[in-house]
Amino acid sequence: MANTKLFRRLDLWGPLSNAVKAMPHPRAGGPTHLRVFSGGCATGREPYSIAMLLEHYCYRHDFTVTATDVDPDLIAQARTGVLTDGEVARALLREGILTRDMAERYLTRVDTATWQVKPRVLDRIDFTVADLNAPAGLIPDPCHLAFCANMWRHLNPDGRHALAAELGATMPDYGLLVIGPSDLYFGEDPNDPTGPLLHRPEFTVDMQERFRPHPRHPLMYRPRTDRERPAA
């Protein structure tokens, strides 16, 4: 069963919006149109959240989101833009991200049990059935922001290698990659939150030479420049 919800990882979205706003201005060679990738998007709550965040806080950038999942039933559900009253209420109760003003701008209450994502958000997202084990041609080029969270362990070794290479080839130096908590663990014991922050092997393989941690959040990464890549 897909584990997804609106604005998952509450502590991520503030640092992420600040990092996006800090990207080079178009007049300084930065993008005029942000191209975003959401891999393994399930029923679409992640790309909905991304699109609402960018629409609300990153006004100087136009943007589109490419969202993929291997399950056609989940993609069909994502394309509807239908949310339950319970999940919207839970998102509103979580402080600081989905405000009532945002809900009024980007969502429409259909009835007491249902909300609908408005076209101004939904039309920004291209939902596609795709297998990330074969990512060639899936990721926008250039890709300025990529969400590939909690899915590395579900890919086969060749797929992880191919996805890491595709991300590394399409992202500019100022691009952002977001991973998930299950791509990390703490120390020698995954259940010990006091140990040092480490990567699971499924994420570490192929990624360390292409990406480095972003100082704003432990789940955010930026591409390494050629000078920063480890020597072969």
pLDDT value of residue 181:
83
pLDDT value of residue 33:
92
3 state SS for the chain: CCCCCCCCCHHHHHHHHHHHHCCCCHHHCCCCEEEEEEECCCCCHHHHHHHHHHHHHCCCCEEEEEEEECCHHHHHHHHHCEEEHHHHHHHHHCCCCCCHHHHHHHEEEEECCEEEECHHHHCCEEEEECCCCCCCCCCCCCCCEEECCCCHHHCCHHHHHHHHHHHHHHCCCCCEEECCHHHEEECCCCCCCCCCEEECHHHHCCCCCCEEECCCCCCEEEECCCCCCCCC
- Write the CB contacts of 159 (distance below 8 Å, at least 6 apart in sequence): 131, 132, 133, 134, 135
Which tokens go with 24? 């080079």
| CATH class in words for 10-23+31-79+120-223 | alpha beta
pLDDT value of residue 169:
93
Give the residue extent of every domain in the chain: 10-23+31-79+120-223
pLDDT value of residue 203:
72
Which tokens go with 94? 């979580």
Among 77, 79, 81, which residue's Cα sits nearest to residue 107? 81
Low-confidence ranges of the chain (pLDDT < 50): 1
